[in-house]
Protein backbone atom coordinates (compact mmCIF):
# COMPACT_ATOMS: atom_id res chain seq x y z
CA UNK A 1 0.00 0.00 0.00
CA UNK A 2 1.49 3.32 -1.06
CA UNK A 3 1.73 5.97 1.62
CA UNK A 4 3.34 9.37 2.03
CA UNK A 5 7.08 9.10 2.76
CA UNK A 6 8.12 12.68 1.99
CA UNK A 7 9.00 15.58 4.34
CA UNK A 8 6.25 15.85 6.94
CA UNK A 9 6.89 19.44 8.02
CA UNK A 10 6.14 20.67 4.49
CA UNK A 11 2.68 19.12 4.85
CA UNK A 12 2.21 20.62 8.33
CA UNK A 13 3.16 24.08 7.05
CA UNK A 14 0.67 23.79 4.21
CA UNK A 15 -2.27 22.22 6.08
CA UNK A 16 -1.78 23.22 9.72
CA UNK A 17 -1.23 21.09 12.82
CA UNK A 18 -1.56 17.32 12.16
CA UNK A 19 -1.03 15.51 15.51
CA UNK A 20 -1.13 12.07 13.90
CA UNK A 21 1.52 12.77 11.26
CA UNK A 22 4.36 14.29 13.29
CA UNK A 23 5.18 15.68 16.72
CA UNK A 24 7.43 18.38 15.30
CA UNK A 25 6.22 21.94 14.91
CA UNK A 26 7.11 24.11 11.94
CA UNK A 27 9.24 27.20 12.62
CA UNK A 28 7.55 29.13 9.81
CA UNK A 29 3.83 29.77 9.90
CA UNK A 30 3.35 30.10 6.13
CA UNK A 31 3.17 27.38 3.43
CA UNK A 32 6.41 26.13 1.84
CA UNK A 33 7.63 27.15 -1.61
CA UNK A 34 8.38 30.30 -3.55
CA UNK A 35 4.82 31.67 -3.23
CA UNK A 36 4.18 30.52 0.33
CA UNK A 37 4.09 34.03 1.80
CA UNK A 38 1.93 35.51 -0.96
CA UNK A 39 -1.61 36.22 0.20
CA UNK A 40 -3.83 34.67 -2.39
CA UNK A 41 -7.57 34.20 -2.42
CA UNK A 42 -8.50 30.54 -2.26
CA UNK A 43 -11.46 29.14 -4.13
CA UNK A 44 -14.18 27.09 -2.41
CA UNK A 45 -12.77 23.99 -4.09
CA UNK A 46 -9.30 24.73 -2.67
CA UNK A 47 -10.71 25.01 0.87
CA UNK A 48 -12.54 21.67 0.56
CA UNK A 49 -9.48 20.01 -0.97
CA UNK A 50 -7.34 21.24 1.93
CA UNK A 51 -9.75 19.76 4.51
CA UNK A 52 -9.74 16.44 2.64
CA UNK A 53 -5.93 16.44 2.51
CA UNK A 54 -5.81 17.00 6.28
CA UNK A 55 -7.73 13.74 6.79
CA UNK A 56 -5.58 11.87 4.28
CA UNK A 57 -2.22 12.89 5.72
CA UNK A 58 -3.21 12.77 9.40
CA UNK A 59 -4.62 9.23 9.26
CA UNK A 60 -2.21 8.01 6.57
CA UNK A 61 -4.84 6.68 4.17
CA UNK A 62 -4.78 6.69 0.38
CA UNK A 63 -7.32 8.49 -1.82
CA UNK A 64 -8.94 5.16 -2.67
CA UNK A 65 -9.27 4.18 1.00
CA UNK A 66 -10.71 7.57 1.97
CA UNK A 67 -13.29 7.35 -0.82
CA UNK A 68 -14.28 3.90 0.47
CA UNK A 69 -14.66 5.31 4.00
CA UNK A 70 -16.86 8.16 2.68
CA UNK A 71 -19.14 5.69 0.90
CA UNK A 72 -19.36 3.58 4.06
CA UNK A 73 -20.14 6.68 6.16
CA UNK A 74 -22.94 7.61 3.70
CA UNK A 75 -24.64 4.27 4.39
CA UNK A 76 -24.45 4.78 8.16
CA UNK A 77 -27.25 6.48 10.08
CA UNK A 78 -26.78 10.02 11.37
CA UNK A 79 -24.27 12.63 10.23
CA UNK A 80 -22.04 11.46 7.34
CA UNK A 81 -19.14 13.66 8.49
CA UNK A 82 -19.25 12.33 12.04
CA UNK A 83 -19.53 8.73 10.82
CA UNK A 84 -16.48 9.30 8.59
CA UNK A 85 -14.40 10.60 11.51
CA UNK A 86 -15.53 7.68 13.69
CA UNK A 87 -14.48 5.15 11.03
CA UNK A 88 -11.02 6.74 10.78
CA UNK A 89 -10.62 7.12 14.56
CA UNK A 90 -11.57 3.47 15.21
CA UNK A 91 -8.83 2.11 12.92
CA UNK A 92 -6.36 -0.08 14.83
CA UNK A 93 -3.30 2.06 14.01
CA UNK A 94 -5.06 5.21 15.25
CA UNK A 95 -6.31 3.44 18.40
CA UNK A 96 -2.76 2.28 19.21
CA UNK A 97 -1.60 5.89 18.73
CA UNK A 98 -4.37 7.30 20.95
CA UNK A 99 -3.48 4.78 23.69
CA UNK A 100 0.03 6.29 23.70
CA UNK A 101 1.80 3.13 22.50
CA UNK A 102 3.32 5.12 19.61
CA UNK A 103 4.27 8.76 19.09
CA UNK A 104 2.60 9.12 15.69
CA UNK A 105 0.11 7.20 13.53
CA UNK A 106 2.88 6.07 11.10
CA UNK A 107 4.77 4.76 14.16
CA UNK A 108 1.64 2.95 15.34
CA UNK A 109 1.15 1.48 11.85
CA UNK A 110 4.68 0.09 11.98
CA UNK A 111 3.99 -1.53 15.37
CA UNK A 112 0.88 -3.19 13.96
CA UNK A 113 2.54 -4.24 10.67
CA UNK A 114 5.43 -5.88 12.49
CA UNK A 115 3.13 -8.01 14.63
CA UNK A 116 3.67 -6.28 18.00
CA UNK A 117 -0.06 -5.75 18.68
CA UNK A 118 -2.77 -8.24 19.63
CA UNK A 119 -6.55 -7.74 19.61
CA UNK A 120 -8.55 -10.00 21.94
CA UNK A 121 -5.50 -12.26 22.33
CA UNK A 122 -4.90 -12.72 18.59
CA UNK A 123 -2.08 -11.04 16.69
CA UNK A 124 -3.43 -8.53 14.14
CA UNK A 125 -1.09 -6.98 11.57
CA UNK A 126 -3.70 -5.03 9.59
CA UNK A 127 -3.57 -1.29 10.44
CA UNK A 128 -7.04 -0.62 8.96
CA UNK A 129 -8.71 -3.18 11.27
CA UNK A 130 -11.87 -1.56 12.70
CA UNK A 131 -11.85 -1.69 16.50
CA UNK A 132 -15.21 -2.33 18.16
CA UNK A 133 -16.45 -1.64 21.70
CA UNK A 134 -15.20 -4.43 23.96
CA UNK A 135 -11.96 -5.07 22.04
CA UNK A 136 -8.88 -5.56 24.22
CA UNK A 137 -5.69 -4.24 22.60
CA UNK A 138 -2.43 -5.51 24.07
CA UNK A 139 1.24 -5.87 23.21
CA UNK A 140 2.52 -9.32 22.25
CA UNK A 141 4.52 -11.19 24.88
CA UNK A 142 7.87 -10.68 23.11
CA UNK A 143 10.39 -8.68 25.15
CA UNK A 144 11.31 -6.52 22.16
CA UNK A 145 7.66 -5.50 21.67
CA UNK A 146 7.33 -4.46 25.31
CA UNK A 147 10.59 -2.49 25.23
CA UNK A 148 9.47 -0.58 22.12
CA UNK A 149 6.14 0.39 23.65
CA UNK A 150 7.65 1.31 27.02
CA UNK A 151 10.02 3.71 25.22
CA UNK A 152 7.10 5.23 23.31
CA UNK A 153 5.04 5.66 26.48
CA UNK A 154 7.69 8.01 27.89
CA UNK A 155 6.88 10.49 25.08
CA UNK A 156 3.26 9.91 24.00
CA UNK A 157 1.95 11.75 20.94
CA UNK A 158 -1.10 13.20 22.72
CA UNK A 159 -1.33 13.87 26.46
CA UNK A 160 -5.02 13.09 27.05
CA UNK A 161 -6.54 9.63 26.74
CA UNK A 162 -9.97 9.80 25.02
CA UNK A 163 -13.04 8.85 27.05
CA UNK A 164 -13.83 5.81 24.86
CA UNK A 165 -10.49 4.14 25.72
CA UNK A 166 -8.86 2.89 28.90
CA UNK A 167 -5.22 1.87 29.31
CA UNK A 168 -3.26 -0.03 31.97
CA UNK A 169 0.44 0.95 31.84
CA UNK A 170 1.53 -1.97 34.03
CA UNK A 171 0.19 -4.68 31.71
CA UNK A 172 0.39 -2.52 28.51
CA UNK A 173 -3.24 -3.36 27.80
CA UNK A 174 -5.92 -1.05 26.45
CA UNK A 175 -9.65 -1.51 26.03
CA UNK A 176 -12.16 0.09 23.69
CA UNK A 177 -15.27 0.95 25.72
CA UNK A 178 -17.37 2.70 23.09
CA UNK A 179 -17.31 4.55 19.77
CA UNK A 180 -15.28 7.78 19.86
CA UNK A 181 -17.23 11.02 20.40
CA UNK A 182 -16.74 14.04 18.12
CA UNK A 183 -15.16 16.28 20.78
CA UNK A 184 -12.33 13.75 21.34
CA UNK A 185 -11.12 13.91 17.72
CA UNK A 186 -7.73 15.63 18.04
CA UNK A 187 -7.61 16.95 14.47
CA UNK A 188 -8.97 20.46 13.84
CA UNK A 189 -11.16 19.86 10.82
CA UNK A 190 -14.51 20.73 9.25
CA UNK A 191 -15.71 17.29 8.18
CA UNK A 192 -18.73 18.72 6.32
CA UNK A 193 -16.36 20.26 3.75
CA UNK A 194 -14.84 16.81 3.16
CA UNK A 195 -18.30 15.34 2.57
CA UNK A 196 -19.05 18.22 0.15
CA UNK A 197 -15.76 17.57 -1.67
CA UNK A 198 -16.76 13.94 -2.26
CA UNK A 199 -20.42 14.70 -3.05
CA UNK A 200 -19.72 14.54 -6.79
CA UNK A 201 -17.34 11.58 -6.63
CA UNK A 202 -18.95 9.19 -4.13
**Residues 50, 24 share a domain:** yes
Beta-carbon contacts of 20 under 8 Å, excluding residues fewer than 6 positions away, are: 58, 59, 60, 94, 97, 104, 105, 157, 186, 187
**Domain identity same for 153 and 77:** no
Q: Structural domain tally of the chain? A: 2
Q: Do residues 95 and 135 both lie within one domain? A: yes
Are 131 and 66 found together in one domain? no
Q: Is residue 190 domain-resident?
A: yes
Residues 11-62 pLDDT 10s: 877 787 787 777 777 777 777 766 666 767 788 888 899 899 989 988 989 9
CATH classification of the domain holding 172: 3.10.290.10
Domain with residue 28: its CATH number is: 1.10.1050.10
Distance CA 195, CA 197 (A): 5
Name the 3-class secondary structure at 52: helix
Q: Do 76 and 104 belong to one domain?
A: no
pLDDT in tens, 57-112: 889 899 999 999 999 999 988 899 999 999 999 999 999 998 888 888 888 899 99
Amino acid sequence: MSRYRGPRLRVVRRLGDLPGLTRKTARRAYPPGQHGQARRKRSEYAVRLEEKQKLRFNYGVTEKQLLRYVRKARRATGSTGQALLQLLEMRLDNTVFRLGMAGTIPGARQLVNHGHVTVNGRRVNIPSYQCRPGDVIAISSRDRSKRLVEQNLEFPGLANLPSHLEFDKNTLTGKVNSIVEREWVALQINELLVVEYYSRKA
